Amino acid sequence: MTEKLQLRTYAKLNLMLRINGINEIGYHDLFMVNQSLDLYDYLKFEKNDKQGIVLDDGTSIDPKKNFVYKSAKYISDNYTPINLNIYLKKNIPMFAGLGGGSADAAATIFAINRLYKLNLSNKELIDIAKNIGADVPFCIFGGSKIAEGVGEKLTDINLDSYYYLLIKPNLGMSTKIAFKEYDERVGYTNNLSSIENIVDLKDNKIDIEFIKANFYNDFEKVMLESFSVLNKIKTSLYKCGADFAQMTGSGTTMFGIFHDKKTRNVAYYKLKNRYDNVYRCQSTDKGIKILS
Ligand SMILES: C[C@](O)(CO)[C@H](O)COP(=O)(O)OP(=O)(O)OC[C@H]1O[C@@H](n2ccc(N)nc2=O)[C@H](O)[C@@H]1O
Ligand SMILES: Nc1ncnc2c1ncn2[C@@H]1O[C@H](COP(=O)(O)OP(=O)(O)OP(=O)(O)O)[C@@H](O)[C@H]1O
């Protein structure tokens, strides 16, 4: 029986994010096009001798509030007692719109399913995941997907692979506050013409021209108004040859898409000393990679 598992869990990027409205439990109904990127956190899981869930995460997060702990505790309370030592090494920046906490939760659910041979169906995995956070279902499966509802309705799409440059200024944004700001400052238009466009997504290959013509992030306008550095980053990405530049999630990371690696790398060397936290990465077709 496997007693140990080491994983990489990948960041999520929102290529498109539309806020449709608020549902009956106060959560926002969303339409997202998500892509996994090869920027990752590392997790190691090892069974212990009835010591419960022991987390070593090297972060400032209260251990009991860490999504890793919360996920393991949820399964321990609802399925089977969990006795695991868990080590987490974070690389994905926090409060960045890159779903780092969700990726860690996804890795934990995935690992426990394997280590404890729970044989959970995809639906059961999603049901557990959505209890922990809106991005956790996507992060379990990853790749290129439409995520709808709160984030639990997933549909595969055919999206080209690209090179990315991520720039995360030293300002974080809480998802909860970002939704509040959006509600107060923008509200809802339910733009039906864009919904029709998006329906095509499920059947067609999405290329950079489609992205340029159709994709946006509803949070972006609000954040660009609040933080002028985000505008500067966006302009810099375009000046350095990005085919498309936008904010991911509720911010504050801005991303540039490049069709070739060389242009992306030249942009990296130009911008890495101008801005804080500049990352090079590319699309990946899964959410989690087993190392051993
Ligand atoms: C904005 C996105 O990052 C886009 O990928 C996600 O939808 C947010 O996902 P997440 O970080 O996993 O969010 P959660 O931890 O579930 O929620 C944080 C807070 O954001 C608000 N929230 C989140 C998701 C959603 N669809 N509607 C919301 O109103 C809620 O106030 C919630 O308390
Ligand atoms: N393992 C974890 N990694 C990062 N944040 C965590 C983790 N566990 C709990 N959290 C909490 O989650 C919040 C930040 O999450 P995260 O870094 O995923 O934000 P984000 O990048 O803005 O994500 P999203 O795009 O999903 O909004 C903080 O309140 C933090 O305390």
pLDDT tens digits along 153-179:
999 999 999 999 999 999 978 899 999
Q: Is 99 known as a binding-site position?
A: yes
- Do 32 and 57 sit in the same domain of this protein? yes
Same domain, 16 and 110: yes
Domain presence at residue 149: yes
CATH number at residue 59: 3.30.230.10
Enumerate the H helices of the chain as residue ranges: 67-78, 100-115, 122-132, 136-141, 175-185, 192-199, 208-214, 218-226, 228-239, 261-271
Task: Based on the fold, state whether residues 61 and 78 are members of the same structural domain.
Answer: yes
12 catalytically annotated: yes
For residues 131 and 199, membership in a common domain is answered with: no
Structure pTM? 0.95
Query: Quick one: tokens of 32?
Result: 């997202």
On whether both 152 and 38 belong to a single domain, the answer is yes
Q: Say if residue 169 is in the same domain as residue 116.
A: no
Which amino acid is located at 180 in the chain? K
Our answer on whether the CB atom of 93 is closer than 6 Å to any ligand 2 atom is no
Binding site membership of 102 for ligand 2 (Cβ less than 6 Å): yes
CA distances from 262 to 38, 240, 268 (A): 18, 11, 10
State residue 199 phi and psi, 5-degree precision. -55, -35
Residue 31 lies in a domain: yes
Domain end marker among 157, 175, 204: 157
Query: Angle at CA 128, nearest 5°, toward 125 and 131?
Result: 145
ipTM comes to: 0.93
For residue range 30-50, what is the model confidence (pLDDT) as tens digits? 999 999 999 999 999 999 999
Question: Do 118 and 79 meet the contact criterion of CB atoms below 8 Å apart?
Answer: yes
What is the residue-averaged pLDDT of the chain? 93
- State yes or no: pLDDT of 194 exceeds 80: no
Q: Ligand 2 test: best mutation among 40, 55, 67, most atoms within 8 Å of CB?
A: 67
Q: Is 123 a catalytic residue?
A: no
Same-domain status, 17 and 147: yes
Whether residue 68 is found in the same domain as residue 23:
yes
**Is 291 part of a structural domain of the chain?**
no
Residue 186: is its pLDDT beyond 90? no
| 264 CA → ligand 1 middle, Å | 30
Instruction: Please list the helix, strand and coil fractions of the chain in percent, rounded to the nearest 5, in that order.
Output: 35, 30, 35
**Residue that terminates a domain, selected from 157, 176, 195:** 157
Q: Is residue 289 part of a domain?
A: no
The residue from 157, 191, 206 where one domain ends is: 157
How many folded domains does the chain comprise?
Answer: 2
87/213 same-domain check: no
Rounded to the nearest angstrom, the gap between the alpha carbon of residue 33 and the centroid of all alpha carbons in its chain is 11
In a domain, 256, yes or no: yes
Q: Residue 275: which CATH number?
A: 3.30.70.890
Which residues are near ligand 1 (CB < 6 Å)?
14, 17, 27-28, 30, 32, 97, 99, 102, 133-135, 150-151, 175-176, 179, 249-250
245 forms bridges with which residues in the sheet? Answer: 256
pLDDT digits (tens, 9 = 90+) for 258-268: 999 999 999 99
Full residue range of the structural domain in which residue 219 is found: 163-282
What is the Cα–Cα distance from 166 to 184, expressed in whole angstroms? 28
